[in-house]
Amino acid sequence: MLRHTTRTIPVSILALAFVFGAAPLFAIPVAADQNGDRLARGIRAHNAINAGDDSQIEAALSLLGPDGWDRPNLALAYHGSVLTLEAARAKKEGKLMEALGLLDSGTKEIDEALRRDPAMIDLRILRMENSMALVEGSPVDRKKEASEDIDFLRGQWNSLGAEWKATVELDSGRLALANKRINEALSSWRKATQEAPDSDAANRARKLLARYGD
């Protein structure tokens, strides 16, 4: 991977599921090895929220927040993603303006992380997945950002593992569908199933193929 030395959990297994219509840490110095552990715990909390456990929102925001460490860009981006997931909870509680505010803040954090490190593949994958989830399930139009990330990732194709290639093909198809290009979408989803047949992305692509064509 480019400019990223720590292997992170592939976002392809996160299956971001934002559906818009569907104890604080002390500010003390944190050693480098602790940074990695804190980031990993924050990502695990993010994944739990994504799986439906809203009780992890506060923990994730604290772990991925700025206090008490030299926060890496990936933590900033995941913090933003948590905010977009929190927006779903606000929507379910009827707090529409709060939900929109959380969406705005969350996407800005993800974009800022990518502005600081535009060559980090992990960030591109995260924003691509998050953007497509918002395109499909919220009033926020993130097709432009998703398209930019897909183009970048295709330009780094040889640097991607099979699961990430499948995720790019999956989201390429989702973007094509959002732009009403069904044949292109079906082609991309077929490629996703071929790149990493046993991956989460491939399983998601098969469900979309069954729904829309094959």
DSSP string, 30-83: --HHHHHHHHHHHHHHHHHHHTT-GGGHHHHHHHHSSTTS---HHHHHHHHHHH
Which pTM does this prediction carry? Answer: 0.83
Question: 25 lies in a domain?
Answer: yes
Residue 13, pLDDT score: 29
Instruction: Find, among 125, 36, 46, 28, the residue nearest to 72 by Cα.
Output: 36
Residue 113, pLDDT score: 97
- 17 vs 69 pLDDT, higher one: 69
DSSP 7: -
Question: 190 lies in a domain?
Answer: no
At residue 176 the predicted structure's pLDDT band, cuts being 50, 70 and 90, is very high
Question: 182 lies in a domain?
Answer: no
Residue 156, pLDDT score: 97
Q: What is the pLDDT of residues 60-86, one digit of tens each?
A: 999 999 999 999 999 999 999 999 999
Of 25-29, 85-89, 162-166, 192-196, the poorest mean pLDDT is in 25-29
Question: 169 lies in a domain?
Answer: no
| Residue 31 structural domain | 11-120
